[in-house]
Chains A and B, each alone.
Chain A
C-alpha cells in the first residue's frame, strides 16, 4: 500500500476499499521497519495520527470527503503543530510543544489528512545536506552513504523511501527543490504568498515559502491544492491564492517555449548532471518543446545576494531565541550574559555563522555595501527573469549542479555547499513558482530538472511539469530499498 501514489490511495479511500486507519498503519509499519536506516523522521505521532485517521474515516463514510481525506503525510519540523513537539532540529527549541498550529496543518486537519510525523532538517532550515540537524543524519534512499540534500532532507527522503506519499518542506533558497532532486522525487515551491507562512518558523521571511513533495507531479499538485489559499493570519498571503488541480493533465509540451539561462549551465554543473539534463532536453524537444539558450547575467550573483539577504533577515528573526518564552535557558550572570550563553551554546555552528554574517551585513558602516546593494541586485535578478518570461513559458536548468554527495565529506567547503543553491535561488528572489522533477539518473543517482514560471503562473507551470514528467519517463523508478 505504501507504494501507491496519493492519487491512487485517494481512489481506494474514497471507494472505501481501504480505511484511513489501514493507510496510516501501513505507513507506520514501513517507517518502523526501515526508517532506522534513513532517519527521515525526527518524531512519529502515532497516537494523534490514529485519532486523525478515525475522524477521516468518519468523513469518508459520510461521503463527499475532500480529495486527500485519509491521506497520510509528513511535515518538516519547522512547521508548528499544536500539542506536538516542534524543534526546527535545534537544541534551542528542544522539547518545545507549540501552543498553536500552522495554518497549513490546520487546513489539512480540516480535510481529514493524517499527520504521520515531523521530519528532519538542517537546523532552522539552514543548509543543503540536512547534516546541520542537531539530532540526526538523514540518508538518501538511493544510497545511504549519501545526503538527501537539504534543508528539507527528511521530507524528501520520506517520500522517496515510501514512508509517506506526500510531505511538506520549506524553501528559502532551494530547500524543497534541491532535496527533491537528490532524492528523485518532485518538489514544488509555489509563488510566494500562495501558501500561508503562518506557523512556519521564520528563517528569511521575504524568501521563505512552504512547498509540497510527491512522487508524481499529480500528487504534488493535489498536495498544493490542499493548502493553497489566502490566510488573514499572514500579511504576505496573496488575495487569489487558491489553486485547483482540475486542468493539470491538459498540459502539453507542444509549442511550449523553454529558456535555459547559460549562467545556470556553466562549469559549476557536474558533467554527469549535464549529460542527464541534455538527454532530458532532447526528450522534451521530441514532444514539441521549443528550447532556447538565453543569458541572464545577474543570476551569477544569486549565491552572493542570497547569502547576504537570507542571513540578514535570519539574524533579526532568530533574535527571539533568548530562552525566556520558549526553549531551555542557561542561567549565568546577568540577563545579557545568560541570553548570550543560551544562544552561544544551543545554536549550532552554521546557524551562528549566518547570524554573524547577517548582523555584520546590517551593522553601521556595512549596510550600504552589503544589504542595500544585495537588495538592488535582487531586483535586477527578478527583472531579468520576468523579462525572459515575457517571451518564454518557463525557464529551465538542472535543479542542482551535482547529484547526491557523500555524507560527512570534509572536502566540500562552505562555499561549495552554498553553490548547490545556484540554480534554485533565483526563483526565491522574485517570488516565482519553481518545481523540480526527476530528469533521469547519473550512475543510478537521480538528477532533477528545474522549471520556473512567472508570479501566479503556478497552474501553467504545473501543467508544463506534468507534461515534461510524461516525456521524461522517470516515474516508477524506485530507490534500491528492501
Chain B
C-alpha cells in the first residue's frame, strides 16, 4: 500500500497539523517507508482472532461515590493563554448564517 500526496494532505488536515510543502513531502516518504514495513501483518491469518484493546482487561470499574475536592476554577484556568471572568477564551467557531 502506498500513500498519495493527497492522502498525506488529508491526514494532516484530520490531525490538525499545519505542514509546509517540504514537510508534507518528507512525511509522504516516511509514511510510505513505514507502511512498507507494516506489510508483514497483512500476511497473518487473523480469521477468528479477537482484537486485544487492553493490556490487562478489567470490567465494570466503579469508584465509590465520595465527595472530594476537585480542581478549583482558578487552578483549572492556570495554564490557559487567555481567560476572562473565570472562563477559557476561545475564538468564535460558529459563524452567523446569512
Question: Which residues of chain B in 16-34 are interfacial with respect to chain A, using CB atoms and an 8 Å cutoff?
Answer: 16-19, 23, 26-27, 30-31, 33-34
Q: Are A455 and B56 CB-contacts (below 8 A) given A300-B40, A324-B90, A325-B79? A: yes
A328: interface (CB < 8 Å): yes
Question: Which residues of chain A in 199-239 are interfacial with respect to chain B, using CB atoms and an 8 Å cutoff?
Answer: 206-207, 209, 232, 235-236, 238
B37 touches A415 (CB 8 A): yes
Give every chain B residue within 8 A of A373 (Cβ-Cβ).
41-42, 44, 46
Give every chain A residue within 8 A of B19 (Cβ-Cβ).
344, 352
Main secondary structure of the interface of B (DSSP, over half): loop
B54 touches A236 (CB 8 A): yes
A23: interface (CB < 8 Å): no
B85: interface (CB < 8 Å): no
A379 touches B27 (CB 8 A): no
Q: Are A344 and B81 CB-contacts (below 8 A) given A99-B71, A232-B64, A301-B40? A: no
Main secondary structure of the interface of A (DSSP, over half): helix
A339: interface (CB < 8 Å): yes
How many residues in B have their beta carbons less than 8 Å from beta carbons of A?
51
Q: Which residue of B lies closest to A430 (CB)?
A: B55
A193: interface (CB < 8 Å): yes
A339 touches B33 (CB 8 A): no
A238 touches B55 (CB 8 A): no
Q: How far is the CA of A454 from the CA of B33 in the complex (A)?
A: 35
B90 touches A335 (CB 8 A): yes
Please give the distance in Å from B8's CB to the nearest CB on chain A.
8
Please give the distance in Å from B15's CB to the nearest CB on chain A.
4
Q: Are A363 and B33 CB-contacts (below 8 A) given A335-B92, A340-B17, A341-B18? A: no
B6: interface (CB < 8 Å): no
B67: interface (CB < 8 Å): no
B88 touches A357 (CB 8 A): no
Please give the distance in Å from B51's CB to the nearest CB on chain A.
3
Q: Which residue of A lies closest to B70 (CB)?
A: A100
Give every chain A residue within 8 A of B11 (Cβ-Cβ).
356, 359-360, 363
Query: What 7 A-B pairs have minimum CB-CB distances, sorted nearest first?
Result: A431-B55, A375-B51, A379-B52, A344-B18, A99-B75, A326-B79, A192-B55
Residues of B within 8 A of A (CB): 1, 3, 7-8, 11-19, 23, 26-27, 30-31, 33-34, 37-38, 40-42, 44, 46, 49-56, 58, 61, 63-64, 71, 75-76, 78-81, 88, 90-93
